[in-house]
Amino acid sequence: MHERIVILDFGGQYSSLIARRVREAGAYSELLPYDADIKRIKGSALSGIILTGGPSSVNEHDTKECADEVFDLGVPVLGICYGMQYIAARFFGAVERMEKAETGIVKAGLNEHAVFMTHTDRVIAAPRDFEIIASTQLSPIAAFANDESRLYGVQFHPEVQAVADGIKIIKNFLKLLCGLSLDYSPKSLADGLIKDIALTVGSGRILGAFSGGVDSAVASVLAHKAVGDRLSCIFVDHGLLRKFEADEVMRFYHDELGINIIRVDARERFLKRLEGVVEPEAKRKIIGEEFIRVFEEEAKKLNADYLLQGTIYTDVIESGTKTAQTIKSHHNVGGLPEDIGFKGLVEPLRMLFKDEVRLLGESLGIPPALVWRQPFPGPGLAIRVLGEVTEEKLELVRQSDYILREEIKSAGLLKELFQYFTVFTGIKSVGVLGDKRTYDYALAIRAVHSKDAMTVEAAELPYPLLKRISSRILSEVKHVNRVVYDLTDKPPGTVEWE
């Protein structure tokens, strides 16, 4: 990295969004906790610091504070929302609680620029030698600057996309004030991450958990470029994968790229443990546990120093919410225990959003069909077979899912849909075939739009397409005599049926 922006996270809702905007603007950014050690902040090639918003108030006991040296490093510091109030208080300005919050898009300054506000404290006196550069009706000091000490603050949120000029403000900070060249790209990110891995691991060996999904695959390609044959990956084939899936990923990542991937055939083992198990959470737990058990057994044989995980930013957030209720216990290869005797963890994608991981994957030469794959749950098809899982039922899902994927692909809807799959409902109903009564299974088709899987909308697939999928499934998949379409949004439904 020849240029680096550090973002100190005071717990604001938009902290990760700031990091993302900085990357989009063309600079490498790192999101660190607000109280990060100054050595870690300084690191190498520090070019500027951004202090984020957050829930605390500078006037309360629980004020969150960063290392004081942050202001002595000589690099520009931009405070956003709480970050601005923090600078104000730190340099003897004043902050007060407002009578009512200022929220939403408001006009600021002489040019009536639209800015996005959400705050209940405001700066009422700028520190000495600070120039007031923007105000709104409720915030007379909506932005301030001190060019000499290179300190800047904005009360509003330039990172929120609704505000068109916000991105320009971030760019100006990076280019004009921090002097960055903004030449960062997925390719330079990849180079930086590969160097980081090489540096962390030294001459050690890495063990990777490989699921074939985008995150673990991109992490593995990076690690392979960093340490070559000193990376070994374990791919647990639990028999709950889609048709041809295991072969396809092995063909590319193992055969073509030459990554050392050990495919462990654990199909029988998983089915055996799932025998007679009907309850969804019980199924999930068994699969998660069995996965770890197989992984540990294989890991012992390999003797590695570091564990590679494809953890991405949303995984970090999800596992970090202590108050959220468990709707489903997600099983992730990213959720392997850390205490299985490793010197350390390697998680190169921790800071990135899914679409950034995909762009990174593309820049590493991974084919679009693999990079743009739809999300696929860790417990695989087991949670798409309602009730007890058997090989016969799995096969019905595999075949129908394959037909659905083929048809979605030829309809050109691959990138438009967030997820699309079929579900073995377990319901049997009466039908007729060649003058004979049938009593066979009903399959459901599910196709959804979503950005982040937190809320989803059932997709309005064209009716002729639905008919085509349905008639192909009914004629090509044995023991299915009925196909239904799932119209449920999330909430109240979830994406997967179990």
Binding residues (CB under 6 A) for ligand XMP: these are 328, 330-332, 375, 377-379, 419, 453, 490, 494-496
Q: Which residue number, 8 or 456, has a Cβ lying nearer to ligand XMP?
A: 456
Cβ at position 453, least distance to ligand XMP in Å: 4
Helix (H) or strand (E) holding 306: strand 306-308
Query: Helix axis angle, 214-227 relative to 186-201, nearest 10°?
Result: 60
Q: Which residue number, 247 or 489, has a Cβ lying nearer to ligand XMP?
A: 489
Beta-ladder partners of 456: 450, 490
Residues 6+ apart with CB under 8 A from 427: 441, 442, 482
Cβ at position 416, least distance to ligand XMP in Å: 16
Q: Which residue number, 306 or 421, has a Cβ lying nearer to ligand XMP?
A: 421
Cβ at position 329, least distance to ligand XMP in Å: 7
Question: Is 81 assigned a catalytic role?
Answer: yes
Concatenated DSSP letters for 437-461?
Answer: EEEEEEEEEEEEEESSSSSEEE---
Q: Which residue number, 309 or 332, has a Cβ lying nearer to ligand XMP?
A: 332
The rounded distance, in Å, linking the Cα atoms of 209 and 220 is: 9
Question: Is 157 assigned a catalytic role?
Answer: yes
Is 83 in contact with 51 (CB distance < 8 Å)? yes
The rounded distance, in Å, linking the Cα atoms of 302 and 232 is: 8
- From the candidates 3, 102, 159, 290, which is the catalytic residue? 159
The rounded distance, in Å, linking the Cα atoms of 102 and 53 is: 14
Cβ at position 449, least distance to ligand XMP in Å: 12
Q: Do β-strands 4-9 and 29-33 pair in parallel, antiparallel, or remain unpaired?
A: parallel
Cβ at position 179, least distance to ligand XMP in Å: 41
The closest alpha carbon to 16, from 308, 218, 312, 309, belongs to 312
Cβ at position 361, least distance to ligand XMP in Å: 17
Q: Which residue number, 136 or 311, has a Cβ lying nearer to ligand XMP?
A: 311
- From the candidates 119, 157, 224, 238, which is the catalytic residue? 157
Cβ at position 452, least distance to ligand XMP in Å: 9
Is 393 in contact with 471 (CB distance < 8 Å)? no
Q: 430 φ, ψ to 5°?
A: -90, 140
The closest alpha carbon to 124, from 140, 105, 103, belongs to 140
The rounded distance, in Å, linking the Cα atoms of 338 and 345 is: 8
- From the candidates 66, 81, 178, 233, which is the catalytic residue? 81
The rounded distance, in Å, linking the Cα atoms of 59 and 246 is: 57
Amino acid letter, residue 441: Y
Cβ at position 264, least distance to ligand XMP in Å: 19
The rounded distance, in Å, linking the Cα atoms of 241 and 376 is: 9
**Residue 263 to residues 211, 232, 251, 345, 383: CA-CA distances in angstroms?**
10, 11, 12, 22, 22
Q: 51 φ, ψ to 5°?
A: -100, 130
**Alpha helices (runs of H) in 382-453, residue ranges in sequence order:** 391-410
Q: Which residue number, 52 or 419, has a Cβ lying nearer to ligand XMP?
A: 419
Burial of 10 (0-12, 13-18, 19+ CB in 10 A): buried
Q: Which residue number, 179 or 375, has a Cβ lying nearer to ligand XMP?
A: 375
Cβ at position 446, least distance to ligand XMP in Å: 10
Is 48 in contact with 174 (CB distance < 8 Å)? yes
Q: Which residue number, 158 or 334, has a Cβ lying nearer to ligand XMP?
A: 334
The rounded distance, in Å, linking the Cα atoms of 435 and 139 is: 78
Q: Which residue number, 212 or 377, has a Cβ lying nearer to ligand XMP?
A: 377
- The catalytic site residues sit at 81, 157, 159
